[in-house]
Structure 1
Amino acid sequence: MSDHAVFRAPMRSRDDNVPVGVAVDRALEHGVCGVGGRLDAPPASLTDALSQTDAAYGERFARRLERFADAPEGSFVWTRDVYEFLWLGRIGNPWSYDAGPGAWAVDLVHVRPCDWIPTPIPWGQAPSSVHASFARGGRNWQRIRAADAQGTSGVWDRYEPDAPVQLTRAVG
């Protein structure tokens, strides 16, 4: 088994007028993963997006966007919805800017294709480092580097999108 990068993607806008959870809902529905950062004009390229992002939000924000765009294809990504259910996906290439009204409304404009497991992952099956990354809070895309994050691969194999999902319930 090869190691794959594992990321946390809160997909939560810095714009307080955007309700928590709507970007995650859109990402799951449209098969994307993304980060916010609305731009005044749709960028012609990633280089243009980075330049506009730097001018509008600062260098740190532009570097975050660049890390998102540069994440290896096939990397695992975890997100959490408004109910704190965990969702697991794998990102594809390439980065694109979605200037559509739906993406703009939820501030999920910088996107990459993503295959999401069709149901939430049971809490106890996610690696502890995934829980720790969300417990720290924040709205940033970030890599989960703890060794146990590689357990994400086994979770993916168990629930991959084409496999039937079998959740167990405690009785009693």
Structure 2
Amino acid sequence: MVAVYRAPMRSRNDAVEPQATIDRARQLGVCGFGRLVTSSAEQDRLARRVARFAELDEGSFVWTRDTHGWFWLGRICGPYGYDAGKTAKAVDLVHIRPCEWLSIPILEQDAPAAVVATFNRGGRNFQKIHNPSVGVETQRIWDSRIPRLTET
């Protein structure tokens, strides 16, 4: 089964507006996180997070939740990159992967329970959702919302 991840896309810098980060990610078709570190120990942890993120399989699912409570489902569709642009730095979304986002949000009651639970626990880390049913449930949602080409 395809892996499923929580992607809060919330900066560790509280001055960064969370919705601006999510809006930019969806607009550009990317998923990722920022780079705020204040010590060498944090730099080492960031390097490990980046390495794990870069190694994600293409096709992995990612969930994020915006500041309005909407859930958004995406799918990793390309290799890791670093966006050094001014706007990327302003919203602290510099470590990125191409991501195909569904165009319509998912209501909380329609999202897998494991997804809702992991966001309700809080936190800002990109992390795998460990639940035996989350992959099947996420795949079902994806398949029901992705437009299919009709045969003629």
TM-score normalised over the length of structure 1: 0.80
Query: 1:28 aligns to what?
Result: 26
Q: Is the 8 A contact 1:38 1:104 kept in 2?
A: no
What one-letter code is carried by the residue in structure 1 that aligns with 2:108? Answer: W
Q: Is the 8 A contact 2:13 2:36 kept in 1?
A: no
1:127 matched to 2:130: no
Query: How large is the Cα RMSD of the aligned pairs?
Result: 2.0
Query: 1:65 aligns to what?
Result: 50
What one-letter code is carried by the residue in structure 2 that aligns with 1:154? Answer: R
User: Structure 2: which 5+ runs fail to align?
Assistant: none
Q: Is the 8 A contact 2:34 2:92 kept in 1?
A: yes
1:76 matched to 2:64: no
Question: Residues 56 and 24 from structure 1, CA distance in 2 versus in 1: closer, same or farther, beyond 3 angstroms?
Answer: farther
Q: Larger deviation: 120-129 or 130-139?
A: 120-129
Query: 1:105 aligns to what?
Result: 90
User: Structure 1: which 5+ runs fail to align?
Assistant: 40-53, 164-172
Structure showing greater radius of gyration is: 1
Q: Is the 8 A contact 2:69 2:108 kept in 1?
A: no
Report the alpha carbon displacement of residue 38 of structure 1 after superposing the two structures with TM: 5.7
What one-letter code is carried by the residue in structure 1 that aligns with 2:16? Answer: V
Query: 1:4 aligns to what?
Result: 2
Q: Number of paired residues? A: 148
1:155 matched to 2:144: no
Query: 1:114 aligns to what?
Result: 99
Q: Deviations over 1:142-172 (max 9, x none)?
A: 0001012111000000112x35xxxxxxxxx
Question: Residues 142 and 115 from structure 1, CA distance in 2 versus in 1: closer, same or farther, beyond 3 angstroms?
Answer: same
